[in-house]
């Protein structure tokens, strides 16, 4: 099926567009996938790194509280709480220790949770004397020997990490030693982080973060009970605890998530972007109930993916264009090849046809030549036959005329006999005048006989058939002369109507005379029995033809006779009288001259035969016998 051009173009464009779109989509997805996988690996690596450094930082202080149990002053203080010197010593000791370690505070509680010595004993808001038994780190230490707790100080609202250890003698718990570590100290380990990182505590509250504003926000919504508990333990010292605004978009393997961070606030200053799409990866911090979360920025992956997608789209488009061009070129070549083949085929076909036609033509030519030869032969035969017929017709006419001719010759012969006899006698009588008269008469008769025989001879003579200008009137006179005897016998009259100017026809005189004799003979036959038969002969001319008509006053032609007039051997005459060849031969002769002979009835009665023969160009030429 041949699709229309614009439709094909539209389909092709649509196809290519789909291809480019598919390639772009696949590239984007793969690139995204690769990017995320790489980012994930990097994130895991960062997680490990940050967790390790944080752990190391915390571990630095882990044994601090328990080592206080080795301090004699501290033990003495716990034993004897009221001793003033001991208290001062311990306070001083703790103060120095705190300064050296760079911690926030170091203090010792008795077994009821009351602070009995503290590094900050000099300050007005010193912990000394405070009952901190409600703090979980106290309870944990009493119950399990150690406690860890993140909280905001109730006295100075200073957030910190509390590490506690129970101080025991052999039998019982004497008290609890506590070190409060500043978050800044812990966060020091993150000075080199390249992406936002945070630590959420067991309640989902951000306690450490590389982004200062994220601190004391919540990772998940807090229910009322939890909030109440916070009020009780004063863990966050009644801070507002706003949600961080992390929205999870997708979950990946190994606990990784794609999240969106709410738009950063105006006043937030950070070395790396803190809003947008991130890959969040979390990991619990060993030895704590905390979770470390690293946020890797997805924007970069997206940017790379977009660039790769654009490259893929451009490449695919170029490939498509090249493909289309190659295809077009191929089709063009194919078309050209097909056209060439078609041309070759057409050429072959043409050549084959030409050969066929040539063969046909030569066959036809041969056949034509054969036919022409055959026709020439037939024509020759026909002409010979016609000549024979003409000759036969002449002989027939001569036969018919022979009785009359015999009579015509007998009379002068008898007269000659008498005249010659008389001439001898007149010579004997020496009547020379009469004898001379008789001899003259004899001479005239001989001349007359010579004319008759001469005409017969001329009539019977086989003519050459070559046409020449013939005086038609003269031809009529000769014909009439030939029939003179018969005309006289039958008391017939010939009425001739000729124009003044002689008419020359291009034909053969003898043959024309033969035709005229024939027509007059037939006219006389038709009027047989009439007392005064009359034949009217008229002649005229057109531009190219001489016309001659022979009219009688007989019974005319019946329809049957008229239709068969020129059939050879058609006759209505008695046997021996007519051969039925006269008109057939006459028509043949006239046709030979390039003319026509027609027979019909005159409106006034009787038959009329009209012949037309070409006019001779040379009208001055005289007729030849």
By CB under 6 A, name the binding residues for ligand ADP. 518, 522-523, 526, 552, 554, 557, 561, 565, 570-573, 578-580, 582-584, 607
| Smallest distance from ligand ADP to CB 565, Å | 6
If we measure between CA atoms, which residue out of 537, 550, 538, 535 comes closest to residue 597? 550
| Smallest distance from ligand ADP to CB 496, Å | 17
Tokens of 216: 């004391």
| Smallest distance from ligand ADP to CB 584, Å | 6
Nearer to ligand ADP, 498 or 566 (CB): 566
Distance in angstroms (rounded) separating the CA atoms of residues 169 and 172? 6
Nearer to ligand ADP, 336 or 573 (CB): 573
Nearer to ligand ADP, 145 or 580 (CB): 580
Contact 116, 140 (CB under 8 A): no
| Smallest distance from ligand ADP to CB 507, Å | 19
Whose tokens are 């993916």? That residue is 305
Nearer to ligand ADP, 196 or 578 (CB): 578
Distance in angstroms (rounded) separating the CA atoms of residues 504 and 616? 5
Contact 239, 216 (CB under 8 A): yes
| Smallest distance from ligand ADP to CB 563, Å | 11
Contact 27, 309 (CB under 8 A): yes
Nearer to ligand ADP, 115 or 587 (CB): 587
Tokens of 5: 């051009």
Contact 568, 580 (CB under 8 A): yes
Sign for the pseudo-dihedral over CA of 269, 275, 280, 285: positive
| Smallest distance from ligand ADP to CB 578, Å | 3
Cα 462 to chain center, whole Å?
81
Contact 389, 588 (CB under 8 A): yes
The CA–CA distances, whole Å, from 517 to 340, 402, 486, 556, 579 equal 78, 14, 11, 18, 15
Nearer to ligand ADP, 452 or 583 (CB): 583
| Smallest distance from ligand ADP to CB 602, Å | 10
Nearer to ligand ADP, 582 or 588 (CB): 582
| Smallest distance from ligand ADP to CB 478, Å | 19
| Smallest distance from ligand ADP to CB 460, Å | 18
Nearer to ligand ADP, 74 or 557 (CB): 557
Phi, psi for residue 296 in degrees, rounded to 5: -105, 135
Whose tokens are 């001259």? That residue is 593
Nearer to ligand ADP, 487 or 584 (CB): 584
Sign for the pseudo-dihedral over CA of 142, 143, 144, 148: negative
217 has which bridge partners? Answer: 242
Nearer to ligand ADP, 200 or 582 (CB): 582
| Smallest distance from ligand ADP to CB 561, Å | 5
Distance in angstroms (rounded) separating the CA atoms of residues 623 and 471? 5
First to last CA, the chain: 88
Cα 61 to chain center, whole Å?
86
DSSP of 280-349: EEEEEPTTSS-EEEEEEESHHHHHHHHHHHHHHHHHHHHHHHHHHHHHHHHHHHHHHHHHHHHHHHHHHH
| Smallest distance from ligand ADP to CB 424, Å | 46
Distance in angstroms (rounded) separating the CA atoms of residues 216 and 218? 7
Nearer to ligand ADP, 432 or 567 (CB): 567
Nearer to ligand ADP, 390 or 416 (CB): 390
Nearer to ligand ADP, 507 or 523 (CB): 523
| Smallest distance from ligand ADP to CB 526, Å | 3
277 has which bridge partners? Answer: 260
| Smallest distance from ligand ADP to CB 553, Å | 10
Cα 468 to chain center, whole Å?
75
Other beta carbons within 10 Å of 339: 10
If we measure between CA atoms, which residue out of 314, 521, 245, 307 comes closest to residue 399? 521
Distance in angstroms (rounded) separating the CA atoms of residues 182 and 189? 13
């Amino acid at each position: 099926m041949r699709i229309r051009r614009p439709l094909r173009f539209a389909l092709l464009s649509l196809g290519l567009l789909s291809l480019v779109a598919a390639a772009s989509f696949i590239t984007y997805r793969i690139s995204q996938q690769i990017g995320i996988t790489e980012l994930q690996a990097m994130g895991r690596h960062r997680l490990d790194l940050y967790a390790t450094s944080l752990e190391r930082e915390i571990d630095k202080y882990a044994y601090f509280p328990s080592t206080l149990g080795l301090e004699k002053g501290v033990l003495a203080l716990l034993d004897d709480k009221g001793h003033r010197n001991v208290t001062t010593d311990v306070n001083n000791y703790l103060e120095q220790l705190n300064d050296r370690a760079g911690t926030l505070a170091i203090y010792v509680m008795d077994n009821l949770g009351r602070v009995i010595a503290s590094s900050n004993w000099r300050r007005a808001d010193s912990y000394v004397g405070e009952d901190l038994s409600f703090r979980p780190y106290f309870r944990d230490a009493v119950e399990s020997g150690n406690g860890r707790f993140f909280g905001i100080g109730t006295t100075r609202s200073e957030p910190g990490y509390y590490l506690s250890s129970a101080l025991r003698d052999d039998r019982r718990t004497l008290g609890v030693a506590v070190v409060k570590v500043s978050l800044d100290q812990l966060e020091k380990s993150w000075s080199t982080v390249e992406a936002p990182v945070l630590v959420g505590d067991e309640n989902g509250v951000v306690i450490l973060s590389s982004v200062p504003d994220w601190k004391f926000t919540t990772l998940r919504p807090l229910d009322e009970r939890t909030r109440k508990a916070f009020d009780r333990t004063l863990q966050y010292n009644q801070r507002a605890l706003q949600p961080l605004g992390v929205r999870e978009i997708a979950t990946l393997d190994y606990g990784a998530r794609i999240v969106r961070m709410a738009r950063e606030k105006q006043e937030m200053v950070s070395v790396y972007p803190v809003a947008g799409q991130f890959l969040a990866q979390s990991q619990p911090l060993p030895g704590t109930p905390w979770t470390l979360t690293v946020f890797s920025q997805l924007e970069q992956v997206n940017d790379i993916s977009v660039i790769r997608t654009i490259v893929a789209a451009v490449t695919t488009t170029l490939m498509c264009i090249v493909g289309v061009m190659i295809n077009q070129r191929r089709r063009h070549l194919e078309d050209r090849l097909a056209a060439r083949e078609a041309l070759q085929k057409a050429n072959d076909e043409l050549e084959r046809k030409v050969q066929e036609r040539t063969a046909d033509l030569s066959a036809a030519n041969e056949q034509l030549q054969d036919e022409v030869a055959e026709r020439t032969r037939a024509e020759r035969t026909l002409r010979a036959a016609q000549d024979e017929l003409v000759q036969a017709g002449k002989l027939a006419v001569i036969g018919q005329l022979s009785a009359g001719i015999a009579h015509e010759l007998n009379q002068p012969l008898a007269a000659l006999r008498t005249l010659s006899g008389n001439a001898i006698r007149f010579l004997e009588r020496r009547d020379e005048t009469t004898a001379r008269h008789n001899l003259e008469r004899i001479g005239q008769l001989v001349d007359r006989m010579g004319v008759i025989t001469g005409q017969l001879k001329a009539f019977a003579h086989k003519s050459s058939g070559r046409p020449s200008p013939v005086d038609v009137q003269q031809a009529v006179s000769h014909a009439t002369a030939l029939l003179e005897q018969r005309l006289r016998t039958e008391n017939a009259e010939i009425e001739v109507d000729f124009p003044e100017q002689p008419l020359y026809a291009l034909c053969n005189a003898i043959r024309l005379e033969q035709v005229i004799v024939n027509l007059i003979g037939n006219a006389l036959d038709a009027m047989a029995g009439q007392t005064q038969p009359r034949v009217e002969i008229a002649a005229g001319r057109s531009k190219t033809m001489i016309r001659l008509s022979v009219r009688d006053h007989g019974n005319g032609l019946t329809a049957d006779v008229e239709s068969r007039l020129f059939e050879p051997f058609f006759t209505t005459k008695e046997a021996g009288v007519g051969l039925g060849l006269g008109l057939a031969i006459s028509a043949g002769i006239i046709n030979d001259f390039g003319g026509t002979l027609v027979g019909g009835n005159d409106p006034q009665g009787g038959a009329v035969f009209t012949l037309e023969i070409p006019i001779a160009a040379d009208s001055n030429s005289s007729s030849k016998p």
